[in-house]
């Protein structure tokens, strides 16, 4: 549960409330199915939220979701994967960080804040 929700209180509460409805001791598969179902239910809401982003910002978020973040957004490997210029990555990253889509850890790792956005953009629930 903590792994899927990234300890986000809203999602922990949501998962717990849906697990209680099962009326049985839940398995890991049950939890993953519930998370995947919720991701599918909220797909259009996430799409609406991402509509305010530019094409490059959406592309960058998608890459961060699929790559499980990055330590070097301006590094050669990340630039090649993104097929964007350093300036575009830098501008997009600044916007995404300012608007709380991504965060930079103390160690310098950049990742998506909202686990549901990450799940939807990565195309799955496994991290």
What ranges do the domains of the chain cover?
2-47, 53-122
Distance between CA atoms of residues 62 and 36, nearest Å:
17
Q: CA of 65: how far to CAs of 58, 62, 91, in Å?
A: 10, 5, 18
pLDDT recorded at residue 106: 93
Q: What value does the mean pLDDT take over residues 99-113?
A: 94
pLDDT recorded at residue 66: 93
Are the beta carbons of 109 and 70 closer than 8 angstroms? yes
Q: Which fold has domain 53-122?
A: Arc Repressor Mutant, subunit A (1.10.10)
Q: Can you tell me whether residue 111 is helix, strand or coil?
A: strand
**Would the pTM count as exceeding 0.95?**
no
Distance between CA atoms of residues 14 and 52, nearest Å:
26
- Convert the pLDDT of each residue in 70-97 to its tens digit: 999 999 999 999 999 999 999 999 999 9
Are the beta carbons of 122 and 64 closer than 8 angstroms? no
């Amino acid at each position: 549960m903590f792994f899927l929700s990234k300890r986000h209180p809203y999602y922990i509460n949501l998962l717990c409330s849906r697990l209680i409805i099962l009326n049985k001791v839940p398995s890991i598969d049950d939890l993953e199915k519930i998370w995947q179902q919720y991701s599918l239910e909220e797909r259009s809401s996430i799409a609406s939220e991402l509509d305010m982003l530019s094409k490059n910002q959406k592309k960058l978020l998608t890459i961060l979701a699929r790559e499980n973040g990055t330590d070097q957004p301006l590094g050669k490997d990340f630039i090649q994967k993104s097929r964007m210029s350093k300036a575009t990555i830098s501008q997009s990253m600044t916007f995404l960080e300012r608007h709380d889509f991504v965060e930079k850890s103390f160690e310098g790792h950049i990742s998506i804040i909202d686990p549901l956005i990450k799940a939807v953009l990565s195309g799955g629930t496994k991290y």
